[in-house]
Amino acid sequence: MAPSRHVIVAGAGIAGLTTAMTLSRAGFRATVLEQAAKLEETGAGIQLSPNATRILFELGLRDRLEPHVVKPQMIRVMSGGSGREIARIPLGDLAERRYGAPFWVIHRGDLQASLLDGARGMIDIDIKLDHRFDDFASHANGITVQAFRGKQLVDERGAALIGADGIWSAVGDKLKNHRKPVFAHRTAWRTLVPADNVPDYLRAPAVHLFLGMDAHLVAYPVKAGALINLVGIVNDNWNQTGWNAPGERTEILRHFARFTWHESVRELIGIPQRWLKWALFDNASPFAGSTGAVTLVGDAAHPMLPFLAQGAGMAIEDAAVLAHQLREHAEHPEAGLRAYERLRRARTARVQRTARQQGSIYGRAGPEALARNLVMRMIGGERLLKRYDWVYSWRRD
């Protein structure tokens, strides 16, 4: 196949594997370079909203994913201080009818494994593990990418390079306009708990969102309901990089302090013996784009806070738009990349901005929290869902 139909993708996470699959469906050959020697099941739960599941279904992944997912019937917004319900945002069949695709929750490892199986089933995708991206060089015939396979330096040549290598993107570091993410003074804590160990109401197919002073807690079932995913997000100055730093139960409980958080929430946090934590980073500047035959997708392009639960969704959308634009500009890949960047800039910037605003709303205390809760009750669940129409209704034009 001619180099003009060969695209190199750095990173075999959700962004990279989805990008490879959309490129293959668009008629390109994709080589995925992944620095890990083995892809392992890691991470926390992911909320897959209809804008994302729609694309995954187009890639033929519904049957692979469905045995692993839970289809929440609602988002229950709870007061962390009183333990009482504030509002119910309906999901389930209502959301699927409204948006034409379901809202699912899934463990990140199950999503990545399904993507990996799907990608390996496509003859135009070559996944090369133990290949760490090092550098690239543009030339008249496209681009040459250098990577380390162990200690050996190897080359790949193609029409374009896509950096799908996450928030600390090595590809992004090579781009002049790329801006480093900024610490958001928040830390996320995650764990998985056997469903039998939690109160009955948390086993139901629902997302529970507890809002309280300077923190919030999200709980929902994953692994087809066998485990409960817990994620607590707190104000914090701990800012080490990485995703899997061990955290002590006593430390997270200090952030969900007695007298400000209801005892039922603290008891839930006290169930697991083991927690992992990671610092949250953001970027207030929209992705400026690149030059030449290189671009970024997912967190490499637009890291965002998790308060809108759209990190994976935006990466999946990126992949769909990128592949379409490269197909539309097959003879001029650079033009396709610039078109992709233009089309994604405003939307991803809006999602970043809205997530930032939502985080501010979540962490309010005292009279501001009481006002927030009253407003949410007055608006009601269906109208709260309608506020997300612009996110969930998205389709690639």
Catalytic residue among 220, 340, 388, 392: 220
Whole-angstrom distance, CA of residue 148 vs CA of residue 133: 7
> What residues contact 285, with CB distance under 8 A and at least 6 apart?
179
CA-based nearest residue to 175, from 284, 300, 324, 49: 300
Instruction: Kindly state the tokens that stand for 123.
Output: 């003859």
The question of whether 99 is a catalytic residue gets the answer: no
For every residue of 137-203, DSSP letters joined together read EEETTEEEEEEEETTEEEEEEESEEEE-S-TT-TTGGGSTT----EEEEEEEEEEEEEGGGS-GGGG
3-state secondary structure 82-129: CCCEEEEEECHHHHHHHHCCCCEEEEHHHHHHHHHHHHHCCCCEEEEC
How many residues belong to the chain? 397
Q: What's the token pair of residue 160? A: 């374009």
Q: Is 365 in a helix, a strand, or coil?
A: coil
Residue matched to tokens 């490879």: 20
Question: Catalytic positions, please?
Answer: 220
